[in-house]
């Protein structure tokens, strides 16, 4: 019987090193002959992802609820792929997922956190969420924000507090991202091994309300 892959999600505010750490983890796992692949949300290459990209680049305007549904639809578009890969024994290292979806959308005026979360119900649940926590001072040292929508200090502060509301202690692993890349990577690798040894023999869980 093929043991299923482990589903890991990386979350956290901008500049915490999510993408670097995701890619380093995949590389390290493949070196150890553990099949693993990188995925990221939003996936801007799909039909829905192209609209999201235009929105983030400020080429188009859309109502907040509609945008939230598009980000969610982007995950639903790839839901069959996620399940198929996990069932075939491939571990997935995913750069942002439903937690970003809810934390960012609910940081806007008049957006209800529970309504945002409802759209995620039924998606595959990760075995662990690695949240890269970057302090304000370390964040300032890592340079300025880019030009995309949401890249604003006040908005990111709201996102940060929304993440705290979404924290599920059973699967949430807080990681101090102020440290150098290798130290963070070594901790992540250790955490992955603990999660992987349990997850492979369990069914894939589903996000619930």
Nearer to ligand FDM, 41 or 163 (CB): 41
By CB under 6 A, which span of 20-28, 57-65, 79-87, 100-108 interacts with ligand FDM? 100-108
Decide: 121 and 209 in contact? Cβ < 8 Å.
Answer: yes
Whole-number minimum distance, CB 96 to ligand FDM, in Å? 4
49 forms part of the interface with ligand FDM (CB under 6 A): no
96 forms part of the interface with ligand FDM (CB under 6 A): yes
Interface pick for ligand FDM out of 100, 119, 139, 162 (rule CB under 6 A):
100
CA-to-CA distance for 185 and 181, rounded, in angstroms? 6
Cα distances from 88 to residues 101, 105, 170, in angstroms, run 27, 33, 25
Cα distances from 130 to residues 31, 47, 168, 172, in angstroms, run 21, 28, 11, 6
Q: Measured between alpha carbons, how far apart are the two ends of the chain, in Å? A: 32
Residue 187: asked if its preceding bond is cis (omega within 30°), the reply is no
Nearer to ligand FDM, 75 or 185 (CB): 75
Nearer to ligand FDM, 150 or 172 (CB): 150
CA-to-CA distance for 175 and 191, rounded, in angstroms? 10
CA angle 25–207–5, rounded 5-degree value: 35
Write the interaction track for ligand FDM spanning residues 63-92; mark x where CB under 6 A is met and - where it is not. Answer: --------x---------------------
Interface pick for ligand FDM out of 51, 56, 116, 166 (rule CB under 6 A):
56
Binders in 134-153 for ligand FDM, by CB under 6 A? 150
Question: What is the total residue count of the chain?
Answer: 209
Interface pick for ligand FDM out of 17, 101, 124, 126 (rule CB under 6 A):
101
Write the interaction track for ligand FDM spanning residues 162-191; mark x where CB under 6 A is met and - where it is not. Answer: ------------------------------
Interface pick for ligand FDM out of 42, 49, 124, 126 (rule CB under 6 A):
42
Q: For the residues of 62-110, what is the DSSP string, one character each? A: --HHHHHHHHHHHHHHHHHHHHHHHHTT-EEEEES-HHHHHHHHTTSTT
104 forms part of the interface with ligand FDM (CB under 6 A): yes
> Which residues are near ligand FDM by CB under 6 A?
41-42, 56, 71, 96, 100-101, 104, 150
């Amino acid at each position: 019987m093929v043991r299923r892959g482990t589903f890991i999600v990386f979350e956290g505010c901008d500049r915490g090193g999510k993408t670097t750490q995701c890619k380093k983890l995949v590389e390290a796992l493949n070196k150890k002959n553990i099949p693993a692949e990188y995925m990221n949300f939003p996936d801007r290459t799909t039909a829905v992802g192209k609209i999201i990209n235009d929105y983030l680049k400020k080429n188009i305007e859309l109502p907040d609820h509609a945008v939230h549904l598009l980000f969610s639809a982007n995950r639903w578009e790839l839901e069959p792929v996620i399940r198929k890969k996990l069932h075939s024994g491939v571990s997935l290292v995913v750069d942002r997922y439903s937690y970003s979806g809810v934390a960012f959308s609910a940081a806007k005026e008049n957006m209800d956190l529970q309504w945002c979360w409802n759209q995620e119900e039924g998606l595959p649940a990760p075995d662990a969420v690695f949240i890269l926590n970057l302090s304000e001072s370390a964040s300032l040292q890592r340079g300025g924000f880019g030009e995309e929508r949401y890249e604003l200090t006040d908005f990111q502060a709201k996102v940060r507090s929304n993440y705290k509301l979404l924290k599920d202690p059973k699967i949430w692993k807080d990681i101090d991202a102020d440290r150098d890349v290798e130290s963070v990577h070594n901790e992540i690798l250790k955490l992955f091994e603990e999660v992987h040894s349990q997850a492979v023999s369990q069914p894939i869980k589903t996000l619930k309300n």
